[in-house]
Amino acid sequence: MAFSSLRGASSGLIAALKKGPRIRRRKATGAVGARPPAKSGKAAAPVVASLAPLVGIIETYLSTKEVNRVKEAWKFADQAHLGQFRASGEPYISHPIAVTEICAGWKLDADALCAALLHDVIEDQDVSKQELAEKFGNDVAEIVDGVSKLDRLEFATKMEQQAESFRKMLLAMARDVRVILIKLADRLHNMRTLGAVGPEKRRRIARETLDIYTPIAHRLGLNALYRELQDLCFEAVYPNRYHVLQKALLAARGNRREVLGKIADAVRVALPAAGIEADVSGREKSLFGIYKKMVEQKKSFSDVLDIYGFRVIVHTLPECYLALGTVHQLYRPVPGKFKDYIAIPKLNGYQSLHTTVVGPYGTPVEFQFRTREMDHVAEEGVASHWLYKDDDVSLNDLQKQTHQWLQSLLDIQSQTGDSGEFLEHVKVDLFPDAVYVFTPQGKILSLPRGATPIDFAYAIHTDIGNQAVASRVNDEFVPLRTELKSGDSVEIITSAASRPSAQWLNFVRTGRARSEIRHYLRTVKYEESVAFGQRLLDQAFDQLGLTRPSADDPNWEKLAKSSGAASRDEILADIGLGKRLAAVVARRFAPENAILATTAAAVDEITANRSAPIMIHGNEGQAVQLAPCCGPLPGDAIIGGIRVGHGLVVHMAECATAQRQRVREPERWVPVMWAANTARHLSTRLDVIMLNERGVLGRLAAEIAAADSNIVHLTMADEASKTGIVHLTVQVDSRNHLAQVIRAIRHIPQIQKIVRVKG
């Protein structure tokens, strides 16, 4: 997915950055568009951006000294943005003031409010970070720098610039959560004023907001902001659908007013009668929430019945459960629609009891029960806590969870050099749904929906993930790719000899697991490829009758420069991965022509005169793979093909797949031979045709185990008929060992035929 502009204060066109003195009056620009107020024959009354509403808010919780600091920041920002206008024609300073008012609504501290007022001066006005630090302190400068984009740097593509800007912002957020709070306030105000820009740009900004910023708001528990951003994006992307749905909702509200009023009155009478003092208020799903449900469930608006609900706010936690029981006595609960987010909070700290009951006339109505503190956290999330204020203050559960997630961003960054890959990992972790699973010690872990035991293992510790070989869920062994469900108890079995598999990337869900697996494969595969590339190159030198160069031979540096490689090791790794042919590299060292490229005739000559084959042990790692299409075993006649990006792939000589590939690219095939000491437990496949009688599968498994083999995979076809076919993947040491296994299972009377699958 392409991410459009990740602007700190805006989502619009980026004015050209000019060198020169710190503050210069530049041509008029805008936060969401770049044009000055329209000219007309009559002088327009100047629009004044007032600071009074902001001051009125912050005076309620900041000291006089801190309020004066905020005013100083406003004066600095006002001077910096003098002469700038937004697309709507308002003075540009109105945007930083509006952003700061949103932050003040969260009661952020003075440093955060100063940074909100100044959040555009670095990227738009060439004000240096050092200058801000000297005038307003290091904290303010760091926050503003974290919000600002990287427009001054050179990037290969616009997407790379956007990904790097987002990476920088998230890493700054990991150090100080105020960065993202200001960024979200900035984006909210831009979305509220999006009407001043064209439809295409409006849709682009809205899609970016929906893809990036709303998941972050949800992850941080800023639910009020989350819902408003969703509805604003919905209106910008699909204006016609938004207005049609809005009218339908208003009409439905009138039609159902009588039913909802009857339910509210009944609950307001029942709760005091049970000795519970509570506030009961009506609530309805957001327009975007209704639209999303209609799309996902393929329903019309009239079919979406649970668009209205009630929120019951009580004083204490036990009263939540008492109020729930009281409502269940009034109305019949819908089975399977009760969720206890108090006992097991959501990832973002949200706590509440949810239940759906059948109201009058069969109308389903949702109720939420929570305390006032829970309601405060539910609406404002991490912004309701001073996670960033004082390191000495003990953290509550929400703060710990948020801190762990922010810390995981730094862990992923340490494993990932590419901005796009980092962004991909982080997006995975913004997945809104979650499952809650238990460790063997009873600790609860939150994982994204669809997470597997591998994700669980890496959530515990990197070493456990890297060495995972099996998993036990609810005391039963399950495959590592099994999707976990809430309430599962998970145990990971490890082995010091186990290593991560590239196949795991096909089913892991968390950014941390994906990042750790890729880091391991990238590091280990590179080292193995360098070693294997050296073996291939040594063989090529021997075949060409050339002297092997030393590691410090100056020709290596010349070859690296001419071929675009960074070092000798990179050339060897490319050879091991099949990206370069060893014969071509070897001929670069030929004394008669140091830069002679291998011609087709030379390749044929090399192929015809090859002598020393490469010895295959079967445990070389990523650089040498045994082809899954034919499953070669020690004792089989084999051939080896260099596959780009995969290294050497070993096939049986009779493999039809290998023979077709060899005809197309003969230069990529090298002679190979089994070494004397090969690896144990190599996989091969068998098809067993047998009579489908009771106990025969158990006897088959017992005979295979008695022959010192292991079943890796088993499927059965035609299991309802008298004769069935069992497809087996078994582990053996060699072709002779496989023959022993076949002889063992032939003793079973019900076995009719055994075939080794070679293609």
Q: Can you tell me the distance from the alpha carbon of 408 to that of 419, in angstroms, rounded to the nearest whole number?
A: 16
What are the respective helix, strand and coil percentages of the chain, to the nearest 5? Answer: 50, 15, 35
Burial of 491 (0-12, 13-18, 19+ CB in 10 A): middle
DSSP 457-478: HHHH-HHHHHTEEEEEETTEEE
Q: Can you tell me the distance from the alpha carbon of 380 to that of 108, in angstroms, rounded to the nearest whole number?
A: 12
For the beta carbon of residue 596, count every other beta carbon within 10 angstroms.
12
DSSP 308-354: EEEEEEESSHHHHHHHHHHHHHHSEEPTT--EETTTS--TT----EE
DSSP 210-260: IIIIHHHHHHTT-HHHHHHHHHHHHHHH-HHHHHHHHHHHHHHHHHTHHHH
Q: Which of 90, 101, 111, 124 is catalytic?
A: 124
Tell me if 138 sits within 8 A of 166, measured CB to CB: no
Instruction: Name the packing angle between helices 110-117 and 94-105 (round to 10°).
Output: 160
Residue with tokens 């035609």: 718
123 is annotated as an active-site residue: yes
375 is annotated as an active-site residue: no
Tell me if 471 sits within 8 A of 497, measured CB to CB: no
Q: Can you tell me the distance from the alpha carbon of 513 to that of 466, in angstroms, rounded to the nearest whole number?
A: 9
| Helices and strands (DSSP H and E) totals, the chain | 29, 21
DSSP 261-314: HHHHHHHHHHHHHTT---EEEEEE--HHHHHHHHHHHT--GGG--TTEEEEEEE
Q: Which of 90, 111, 120, 123 is catalytic?
A: 123
Tell me if 59 sits within 8 A of 67, measured CB to CB: yes
Residues with catalytic annotation? Answer: 123-124
